[in-house]
Each structure stands twice: as C-alpha cells, then as structure tokens.
C-alpha cells in the first residue's frame, strides 16, 4: 500500500535528505497517526479494518433518525400529494365509466325501442298485406264467379236461340219435304194411272207426318 509523502518532506533541505540517507532512515516510512489517505479521504488508521456503514453500531441512532424523517416525509407526501391525485384520477375514471355505462344503457334502450317499433310496423304491414291479399283473392273469386255466370248465361241464350233457329229450320224443312213429297207423289201417280190424285196424295202425306 502506498501513501503520498507530505509536501514538507519533498521540500526538505538536501542536508536533511542526506542525513537520513546517512543514518539509514527510510523517508517513505508509514505515515504518522492522523494522516489521511489521499485516494479514499479516510484516515489511514481505519483503512482495511473499518465496518460497512449501515452495520456500524455507532451510527444506528443517526440512521434511525434519518429513517424516521424519511418515513414521515414520504408519509406526508403520500397523504397530501400522491394519494389525493390518485384518488382524483380514480374518481374521474369511475365517473367516466359510469357515464359511459349510462350512455350505453340509454343507447341500448333506444335500440330496443326502435327494434320493437320496427317489429310492430313489420307485423302491421304483414297483417295489412295479408288482408289486402285476402280481399283481392275474394274479389277475384267473386269476379271470376260473376264472369262465369255471365258467360254461362250468354251461352245459354245463344244455345236457346240456336235451338229456336234449328226448330224453325227443321219445321221449314219438314214443311218443304211434305210439299215436295206431295208434289212428287202426285206426279208419279199421274204418270202411273193417268189421272190426278192430288187430294188422296195430300191426305196420305198428312197421315205420314202425323205418324212421324
């Protein structure tokens, strides 16, 4: 271990140095008590044999005092500054969360009301469409029935008129057939017997018509 020699030793007269050399005295001998180590600033006599400061029993009182002071300062700082700020932040966040929850609940209630109104309107529209469809179906059915009856009535009238015309044509045809038959029979009889038998032929044709 090295120690720095005091300045006065370096400035000593040459004679002193020579005297020391002559007498065999070591000018770099261990420093006297009270000398300070220049590297650590600790008295040389305590170097190497000191105790770690926190474990030094001679400083327990001061350590406990500073611990108490630090604890009190930290406690006051926590109580007066940090804790109120933290509480204020927590309260603001709690209020904001409560407001957000209230807003979400309000929006959900509005959405539920809108959904209920939409479902009611949809049900009413469905009922109205069903009623309109039923009414249109009934009206179409009634119209089809009326049209069918009208067509049937028209067909019946046309059929009746056709039957009447057929009867007239048939009656006229029968009348013409009787006249033709009577004339033909009369001509045939005249050719056969040489005399006119028109009255007899007419009576015979009339009998045949009656039998038909």
pLDDT, tens digit (0-9, with 9 covering 90-100), for 114-170: 999 999 999 999 999 899 989 998 999 898 999 988 898 888 888 888 888 888 887
Contact 44, 35 (CB under 8 A): yes
Top mean pLDDT of 56-60, 136-140, 175-179, 192-196 is at 136-140
> Whole domain around residue 205: which residue ranges?
162-211
Total residues found in the chain within this entry: 212
Q: Please return the burial class of 191, using the count of CB atoms within 10 Å of its CB with bins 0-12, 13-18 and 19+.
A: exposed
Q: Look at residue 153 and tell me if it is in a domain.
A: no
- 84 and 139 part of one domain: yes
Contacts of residue 208, Cβ cutoff 8 Å, sequence gap at least 6: 181
Q: Look at residue 65 and tell me if it is in a domain.
A: yes
- What percentage of the chain has pLDDT greater than the value 70? 62
Q: Look at residue 45 and tell me if it is in a domain.
A: no
Number of domains in the chain: 2
Contact 28, 18 (CB under 8 A): no
- 127 and 184 part of one domain: no
Q: What is the pLDDT of residue 22?
A: 38
Q: Look at residue 41 and tell me if it is in a domain.
A: no
Query: pLDDT confidence of 211, banded at 50, 70, 90?
Result: low
- 179 and 108 part of one domain: no
- 138 and 169 part of one domain: no
- 135 and 184 part of one domain: no
- 133 and 172 part of one domain: no
Q: Look at residue 125 and tell me if it is in a domain.
A: yes
Q: Examine the pLDDT at 9 and tell me if it is beyond 80.
A: no
Of 116, 143, 170, which one is at a domain's C-terminal end? 143
Higher pLDDT, 186 or 162: 162
- 113 and 178 part of one domain: no
Q: What is the pLDDT of residue 48?
A: 46
What mean pLDDT is reported for the chain?
74
DSSP structure class, residue 32: P
Q: Examine the pLDDT at 46 and tell me if it is beyond 50.
A: no
- 184 and 129 part of one domain: no
Q: Tell me how crowded residue 205 is: count the other CB atoms within 10 A of its CB.
A: 20
Q: Examine the pLDDT at 34 and tell me if it is beyond 60.
A: no
Of 143, 175, 199, which one is at a domain's C-terminal end? 143
How many angstroms separate the CA atoms of 148 and 145, rounded?
Answer: 5
Q: Examine the pLDDT at 36 and tell me if it is beyond 50.
A: no
- 84 and 111 part of one domain: yes
Pair of tokens at residue 175: 């009348």
- 133 and 167 part of one domain: no
Q: Tell me how crowded residue 96 is: count the other CB atoms within 10 A of its CB.
A: 10
Mean pLDDT, residues 3-31 taken together: 42
Q: What is the pLDDT of residue 179?
A: 72
Residue 36 backbone dihedrals phi, psi, to 5 degrees: -110, 135
Q: Look at residue 154 and tell me if it is in a domain.
A: no
Q: What is the pLDDT of residue 112?
A: 93
Q: What is the pLDDT of residue 187?
A: 73
Q: What is the pLDDT of residue 195?
A: 62
Q: What is the pLDDT of residue 131?
A: 92
Q: Look at residue 88 and tell me if it is in a domain.
A: yes
Angle of CA points 136, 141, 144, to nearest 5°: 120
- 139 and 63 part of one domain: yes
Contact 197, 189 (CB under 8 A): yes
Q: What is the pLDDT of residue 70?
A: 94
Give CB contacts under 8 A, 24+ apart, made by 185-191.
none
Q: What is the pLDDT of residue 37?
A: 46
Q: Look at residue 13 and tell me if it is in a domain.
A: no
């Amino acid at each position: 271990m090295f120690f720095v020699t005091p300045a006065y030793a370096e400035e000593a007269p040459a004679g002193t140095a020579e005297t020391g050399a002559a007498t065999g005295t070591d000018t770099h001998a261990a420093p006297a008590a009270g000398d300070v180590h220049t590297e650590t600033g600790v008295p040389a006599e305590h170097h190497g044999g000191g105790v770690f400061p926190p474990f030094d029993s001679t400083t327990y009182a001061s350590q406990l005092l500073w611990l108490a002071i630090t604890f009190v300062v930290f406690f006051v700082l926590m109580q007066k500054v940090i804790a109120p700020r933290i509480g204020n932040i927590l309260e603001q966040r709690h209020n904001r969360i409560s407001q957000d929850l209230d807003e979400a609940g309000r929006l959900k209630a509005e959405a539920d009301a809108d959904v209920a109104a939409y479902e009611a309107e949809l049900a009413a529209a469905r009922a109205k469409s069903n009623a309109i469809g039923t009414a249109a179906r009934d009206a179409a059915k009634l119209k089809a029935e009326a049209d069918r009856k009208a067509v049937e009535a028209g067909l019946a009238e046309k059929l009746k008129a056709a039957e009447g015309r057929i009867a007239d044509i048939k009656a006229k045809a029968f009348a013409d057939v009787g006249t033709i038959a009577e004339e033909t029979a009369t001509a045939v009889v005249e050719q056969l017997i040489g005399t006119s038998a028109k009255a007899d032929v007419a009576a015979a044709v009339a009998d045949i018509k009656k039998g038909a």
